[in-house]
Structure 1
Amino acid sequence: MKHYDAIIIGAGQAGTPLAKKLAESGMKTAIIEKRIVGGTCIIDGCTPTKTMIASARAAFQARTAGKLGVVIPDVQVDLKKIIKRKNEIVDLFQASAEKGIKTTKGLKLYLGKAFFTGTKELKVEMKDGKTENLSADLIFINTGAKTIIPDIHGLKDVDYLTSTSILDIEEIPEHLVVIGGNYIGLEFGQMFARFGSKITILEKAPHVLAKEDQEIADEICKVLDNEKIEVLRSVTIESVTKTKNGLSVKIEDKSGARKINCSHILVAAGRKAQTDDLGLTYSGIKKDDKGHIIVNEKLETNIKGVYALGDVKGGPAFTHIAYNDYTIVYRNLIEKTKLTIKNRPIPYCMFTDPQLARVGISETEAKEQGLNYKVALLPMANVARGIETGETFGLMKAVVDAKTKQILGAAVIAADGGEIMSVLQMAMQGGITYEDIRYGIFAHPTYSESLNNLFMKLDD
């Protein structure tokens, strides 16, 4: 059995930089990856999807440029070229990540599947057929999450798509049914609508984006409706069957029972932690009823010296959260800081067009917590920059403390929603009040300048 100071399981957005930092600090370190170095973000998450979304946005802008006086008569989508560009960018990022590991002194890369055989002991079934037995003083689990396949009658008998397999589809679906009206489903739905597919989104909840305020979900649905994307809510999917010409989905909603015939089905019903095959019972590491590894505020499990980072531990499943997990663990271990994940900001962005960006608490959460709050709301139709660029769908919304005037949370649906939200996040982290922003000077004409107008609404 080979012994290391530290072993990282999973070469994702937390595992890779952590492995490099630990090795650079003098620790004898190993990192184990069962699939491809880079993790979900680079291989089949953020990098490929946002690359393809950029192509979809370009197609949409070309088709709608006439309203700005620029007429483009024939817009064609070359899916093969889009996929090729996506693959080139993914390969570039992936190669860089793998090179970083292989060129770090004191860091060993194992390509294979790891599982616990003891408290801090692992067996690795290598891709080349060999087996390695490893142990370490410190172990870090960064195995991420995978697609949940819902228990729908007949679904497993058809060639459904996931957020991974759809990235390499060879033809634009004629009619794509998306199971799930959350962030992943909406991004893919709009993307393929802009490529030319007919889209039907099926959501079991009363509204899409279940974690968002109702008006935020409603505004996103207006955007989708404008692009003729059908969104059905409060839907029960009874079964999926093959037909002579494709697939058929039997559903029941407020209109009753009916069938939707389609060419392709995308399953986007959520993700679950990849812990089933880790052998956690042999390690003594505890997990919750959803399979997430339980950690404390410093990301340590119930076993001293064993940590979990990123999606595998539950909580907000975002790349930037996994990366922040790495920075907390590394600084605590090597720099002897006492950082925790308690009360850290959780910004995120859904890359529909316009984007939906969020940070802090929603109005629903403020109400549930019984806070003394006020809400500022500004439609993008009243934002000068939006009017000038022809992008008037969306809104800005902020929840503020009525007494202290601190910003508690914000949601921004806008062309550059993520950038606008980041301004508000910095204000929240710096203790800047909404009055400071209301009277602040911003360059004209920018989207951020309209934060003046947003908080002016609180004067009413």
Structure 2
Amino acid sequence: MPEHFDYIVIGGGSAGYAAARTARETRERVAIVDAADTLGGLCILRGCMPSKTLIYSAEILHLAKLADRFGLNIPVAKADMPRLHQRKLDTIAEFAEYRQEQLASDRFTLYRSKASFTGARELTIADGTVLTADKFMIATGSSVAWPPVPGLKESEPWTSDDVLELDHLPESVIVLGGGVVACELAQLLHRLGSRVTQIQRSPHILKEHSPEASTVIEEVFRGEGIELITDTQLQQVERTEKGFRVTFEHAGKTIVREAAHLLNALGRKPATDGLGLDKAGIELRKSGHIVTNELQQTTNPDVYAAGDVAGPHEIVHVAILQGELAARHATGRTAQPVDYDALVSIVFTDPQIAYVGIPEPDLKERGIDYVSADYPFDDHGKSILMEAKHGFVKIHAEKSTGRVVGAECVGKDASELIHSLAVGVALKATAADLLKTHWYHPTLSEIWTYPLEDVLDG
């Protein structure tokens, strides 16, 4: 006989665990199905935590190499790759252990297996066991994408997983892509001491952010010594005796670059292969994401989806919000859709990029009458004394009310600075409201007062 549950989650990452935990608040029989060799999910094991651990170390190394600017004498500064790797392992171990303990606790029934839908409310796992449930959650995340570039997949280049496991310094690396992962890892590798060439198809890297923000990062990358080539068309990837050869078109010419290693950072895709979604009546978008409504229900109302597999934003805190929302709705409780108009998005390059609220192109598309104001870091006291002069802050406010609807920060610690405005956007505060705050001097945060005052005056 099939094993029946109140709620079954497929995938034990951020979205899946959040959904299982929330469902367990009111339901006794909750199961989690996860086929990963190691439990924990992308963020903890192969994403946010290991990458930011390494990026922070590389930032310290970068500053040490600039010691003269700060009146310091640091004769030698270089990466100790085995120790760097071990620090990363030690740092993420506690997070991973906690998640694994939670998933394997007696609060849930855990199946370490692959699962596939064999009916509208039926799963079959690898050993043939049949599971049924009142409600389901799909939270299988994403996997590395392999665009149809001749020779790319066959040459077996690195993915982000491989870079995050390095215990030695690669002599040279070609990075394919200009998204968040590509940019963060290109700068990481360069600052650790590798020779890096980054090749991007679009005219700008980080194209999901404003051209002004992307331009700042491009200038910094090139200034640091990364060979960044944008507006290209990849032609071929080859494995050679010494490493890799990449052929591409740029400015009407055929260009070749060679390096000891190649990183495929051309994006990720929703992990839906083998789930048998058609047998459950679950449809996909053209992007490959599972179709969901504002409550995370798929085209099968008893099945929900959250996180990278659903989109529209592949961000951990969004995955958690979606998972909690879906589980609350599935268990008959009040559930408010995720407010994407208060979305926070961050890129951990240096300088960092951070945005909250409605992006400026969307403001225009929606016909929202707004005013904007910005201010540069190179005219700000704290950033000047920190030698952190790259970038700017920018605020968008609804013209009729002064309500802040969006804010962008490109600069030192933008990931921290953005939350001052994130609170304001979420609470629908006006520029006048935010100026009631005591903005301490000298801090990086007080830079927000300048565009806030301009918006208020405008």
Residue identity opposite 1:31 in structure 2: I
Residue 427 of structure 1, aligned match among 424, 427, 451: 424
Runs of 4+ residues over 6 Å off in structure 1 = none
Provide TM-score, normalisation by structure 2: 0.95
Provide TM-score, normalisation by structure 1: 0.95
Which structure 1 residue ranges, 5 or more long, are not aligned?
A: none
2:278 is the alignment partner of 1:277? no
Q: Deviations over 1:167-226 (max 9, x none)?
A: 113432222111111111100011011000111111111111112221111111122122
Q: Secondary structure at the match of 2:113?
A: strand
Q: Secondary structure at the match of 2:164?
A: helix
Residue 355 of structure 1, aligned match among 326, 349, 352: 352
Deviation, 1:370, is 3.4
Deviation, 1:406, is 1.3
Correspondence for 2:5: 4
Q: Secondary structure at the match of 2:160?
A: coil
Residue 91 of structure 1, aligned match among 84, 90, 93: 93
Distance 1:63 1:177 in 2: 23
Correspondence for 2:17: 16
2:142 is the alignment partner of 1:145? yes
Change (3 A) 1:165 1:131: farther
8 Å contact 2:187–2:349 — kept in the other structure? yes
Deviation, 1:343, is 4.5
Q: Which moved more, 1:318-327 or 1:440-449?
A: 440-449
Residue identity opposite 2:117 in structure 1: F
- Aligned-pair identity in percent equals 31
2:168 is the alignment partner of 1:171? yes
Correspondence for 2:28: 27
Distance 1:77 1:170 in 2: 10
Q: Deviations over 1:336-385 (max 9, x none)?
A: 21311354521011111121111112333323333322221111111211
Residue 52 of structure 1, aligned match among 36, 51, 54: 54
2:449 is the alignment partner of 1:452? yes
Distance 1:369 1:16 in 2: 35
Q: Tell me how many residue pairs correspond in the alignment.
A: 455
Correspondence for 1:41: 43
8 Å contact 1:24–1:104 — kept in the other structure? no
Residue identity opposite 2:182 in structure 1: G
Distance 1:204 1:303 in 2: 37
Distance 1:150 1:71 in 2: 47
8 Å contact 1:297–1:342 — kept in the other structure? no
8 Å contact 1:359–1:410 — kept in the other structure? yes
8 Å contact 1:363–1:375 — kept in the other structure? no
Which structure 2 residue ranges, 5 or more long, are not aligned?
A: none
Q: Secondary structure at the match of 2:76?
A: coil
RMSD of Structure 2 on Structure 1 (CA):
1.7
Distance 1:426 1:414 in 2: 19
Residue identity opposite 2:118 in structure 1: T
Q: For residues 189-204 of structure 1, what are the structure 2 equivalents within 5 Å?
A: 189-204=186-201
Change (3 A) 1:384 1:104: farther
2:231 is the alignment partner of 1:234? yes
Residue identity opposite 1:320 in structure 2: H
Q: Secondary structure at the match of 1:221?
A: helix
2:436 is the alignment partner of 1:436? no
Q: Secondary structure at the match of 2:400?
A: coil
Q: For residues 61-460 of structure 1, what are the structure 2 equivalents within 5 Å?
A: 61-105=63-107, 107-125=108-126, 130-254=127-251, 256-334=253-331, 336-438=333-435, 440-458=437-455, 459=457
8 Å contact 1:440–1:452 — kept in the other structure? no
8 Å contact 1:361–1:409 — kept in the other structure? yes
Deviation, 1:158, is 1.6
Q: Deviations over 1:56-93 (max 9, x none)?
A: 11111111122111121111211111111112222221
Distance 1:241 1:275 in 2: 29
Q: Secondary structure at the match of 1:137?
A: strand
Deviation, 1:255, is 5.4
Q: Secondary structure at the match of 2:129?
A: strand
8 Å contact 1:145–1:274 — kept in the other structure? yes
